[in-house]
Structure 1
Amino acid sequence: MPQELELLEKQEVNLWKSGAQIYAPVEYNNYKTSISRIRESLIKEKSRFAWFQDYEDIQSELRNILQTGYSLNINISNKKKKTNETISNKILFAKNRIETIKGLTGMINEGRLARKDLIRAELLLSEAITRYNNNDYDTAEKKLNDLSEYIKVSEKMILPILNRYADKNHIRKWQKMVDETIAESKKKGIPAIIVNKSERTLVLYKNGVPVWTYNVGLGRNGSLDKQRSGDNSTPEGKYRITQKKSESRYHKALLLNYPNEEDRKNFILAKKNGLIPAKAGIGGLIEIHGGGRNSMTYGCIAMDNSKIDHIFKIVPVGTPVTIVGAVDYNNKFSSAIEGL
């Protein structure tokens, strides 16, 4: 028997172990077909009378098949290396994407809605890394493809919210409202309040000059503009304090005149365009109140009790209160989503 046959049998086993059927299925199938043919030739030759057996042609063919196997092995090694690099890059991209989206979810109250899908994506990423480390690239890639769908769902939940803060039309509108409020404070010599959602701050002005800045909490969906009752969003616009409540469920409270005329117009238009349910109400009872700046409200602006105590003594009924998403283009949210 030709000695090349033993080498071929070892080569065939090694190629199968290296995943030839996965990384080079066509070439490997041709290789297997050639082996089947040479084995048939060997059987046929062995059946001849010993004096007439001639293995020279078979040996030559065996050497050709062995050479094909060597080339196939190199091809598989190159493909595995390339696949390794591809999967490694995909893992790194997925990891960075998850961390980026997770960071964004921590910036807004609405981020809680996306975290369930991010947790699922993280679990799949962990499984993909384990498969990758075990050289199971096919399964690893499937896990990565699956987790990408969860990332997309998370992005779909939060990016439209954050994109508001990169919208130049929104920024110009907010800047105009802030400028008008500060100008009124300066002209009339009165206090005024500016609430900046992106920074979660309340700035108290006197005579058009900022004198105190406080951290605040917003509605559960406070990064959005309020449209209707029960949406848990914090309204955006120019308001005034209509009542000072020295005793409130949340320590002290300053009641705002939400909804104002502009809010009512927007509410009617949104309902007409089918953007809110036909039976929805416009809502009300929007306040600046105590209870803690870290709490999520139903749409109000929350502060530490000691801070609302301070403001309560300074601002009279009628004080202008302007609530905006941001005061400039380079705000925290627009910077965070840059490059996404």
Structure 2
Amino acid sequence: MRMIRFGVILLTGLLLTACGQSKFYNYRGPEVTQVVINKSDRRMYLLHNEEVLKAYDVGLGFAPVGHKQVEGDGRTPEGIYYIDRRNPNSAFHLSVGLSYPNPQDRAFASTMGKSPGGDIFIHGQGQTYKKGAPRDWTAGCIAVTDKQIRDVYSMVREGTPVVINP
């Protein structure tokens, strides 16, 4: 009987420990109605109407000044986009996708005979930059820490507007 009790306690402890290691958080607070990213001060804000729920320092594309125009330019887009997908298996821990390129982005790149690129995400650091990253290191995405992307991933929903300011 003592061994069974010990086994149950041990199993319960292991299960609770495993639950604590999940990369997925549950969020039950106010709805995030908008994400605002200010590139010049490298800050991202999760808003409920006018109230800031969370604020984070961010990393940008390796060429952070200016609007993304073509694939490979290393810039982070500027303008209004939407969360359009979620990637729980991201190479950068977790990620939420942005609706870049929009029709205007495609049209502009087309006038230059180039692709606008794509796959722009808000994501974590992943294994590559687990011990730290340069300030602006992505190919055009918005990067936060792995802990912070767990917050973002749990708080934002598909369709949430994302405003990216210069």
Query: CA 1:190–1:250 in 2, change beyond 3 Å: closer, same or farther?
Result: closer
Corresponding residue for 2:25? none
Query: CA 1:200–1:245 in 2, change beyond 3 Å: closer, same or farther?
Result: same
Residue correspondence of structure 1 range 251-262 to structure 2 within 5 A: 251-262=93-104
Does the aligned pair in 2 maintain the 1:226–1:234 contact within 8 Å?
Answer: yes
Corresponding residue for 2:156? 315
Q: 2:69 aligns with which of 211, 227, 240?
A: 227
Does the aligned pair in 1 maintain the 2:86–2:96 contact within 8 Å?
Answer: yes
Q: 2:52 aligns with which of 192, 195, 210?
A: 210
For residues 146-195 of structure 1, the C-alpha deviation after alignment (integer angstroms, 9 at most, x for no partner) is: xxxxxxxxxxxxxxxxxxxxxxxxxxxxxxxxxxxxxxxxxxx7521001
Q: Residue 283 in 1 paired to residue 124 in 2?
A: no
User: Post-superposition shift, 1:309?
Assistant: 0.4
Q: What TM-score, normalized to structure 2?
A: 0.72
For residues 261-310 of structure 1, the C-alpha deviation after alignment (integer angstroms, 9 at most, x for no partner) is: 221233234x2xxxxxx3x2110000000006844001100000101101
Name the SS for the 2:88 alignment partner: strand
Q: 2:110 aligns with which of 268, 271, 285?
A: 268
CA distance, structure 2, for counterparts of residue 285 and residue 242 of structure 1: 11
Corresponding residue for 1:305? 146
CA distance, structure 1, for counterparts of residue 51 and residue 86 of structure 2: 23
Residue correspondence of structure 1 range 35-54 to structure 2 within 5 A: none
CA distance, structure 2, for counterparts of residue 226 and residue 232 of structure 1: 7
For residues 58-110 of structure 1, the C-alpha deviation after alignment (integer angstroms, 9 at most, x for no partner) is: xxxxxxxxxxxxxxxxxxxxxxxxxxxxxxxxxxxxxxxxxxxxxxxxxxxxx
Residue correspondence of structure 1 range 79-158 to structure 2 within 5 A: none
Name the SS for the 2:89 alignment partner: strand
* AA in 2 matched with 1:322: V
Query: CA 1:316–1:226 in 2, change beyond 3 Å: closer, same or farther?
Result: same
User: Post-superposition shift, 1:230?
Assistant: 0.7
* AA in 2 matched with 1:214: Y
Does the aligned pair in 2 maintain the 1:216–1:294 contact within 8 Å?
Answer: no
* AA in 2 matched with 1:297: T
For residues 208-256 of structure 1, the C-alpha deviation after alignment (integer angstroms, 9 at most, x for no partner) is: 3222110000001122211100111111110001111112000000011
CA distance, structure 2, for counterparts of residue 234 and residue 207 of structure 1: 25
| Higher RCO by CA contacts (8 Å cutoff, separation 6 or greater) | 2
For residues 121-167 of structure 1, the C-alpha deviation after alignment (integer angstroms, 9 at most, x for no partner) is: xxxxxxxxxxxxxxxxxxxxxxxxxxxxxxxxxxxxxxxxxxxxxxx
Structure 1 portions without partners, runs of 5+: 1-188, 272-277, 326-340
Query: Alignment length, in residue pairs?
Result: 129
Name the SS for the 1:259 alignment partner: coil
Structure 2 portions without partners, runs of 5+: 1-30
CA distance, structure 2, for counterparts of residue 311 and residue 249 of structure 1: 16
* AA in 2 matched with 1:324: N
* AA in 2 matched with 1:261: P
Q: 1:238 aligns with which of 57, 80, 89?
A: 80
CA distance, structure 1, for counterparts of residue 163 and residue 56 of structure 2: 15
Residue correspondence of structure 1 range 25-44 to structure 2 within 5 A: none
* AA in 1 matched with 2:99: N
Corresponding residue for 2:90? 248
Q: Give the structure with higher Rg (CA).
A: 1
CA distance, structure 2, for counterparts of residue 308 and residue 224 of structure 1: 24
Does the aligned pair in 2 maintain the 1:229–1:284 contact within 8 Å?
Answer: yes
Q: What is the aligned-residue identity percentage?
A: 36
For residues 9-51 of structure 1, the C-alpha deviation after alignment (integer angstroms, 9 at most, x for no partner) is: xxxxxxxxxxxxxxxxxxxxxxxxxxxxxxxxxxxxxxxxxxx
RMSD: 1.6
Corresponding residue for 2:10? none
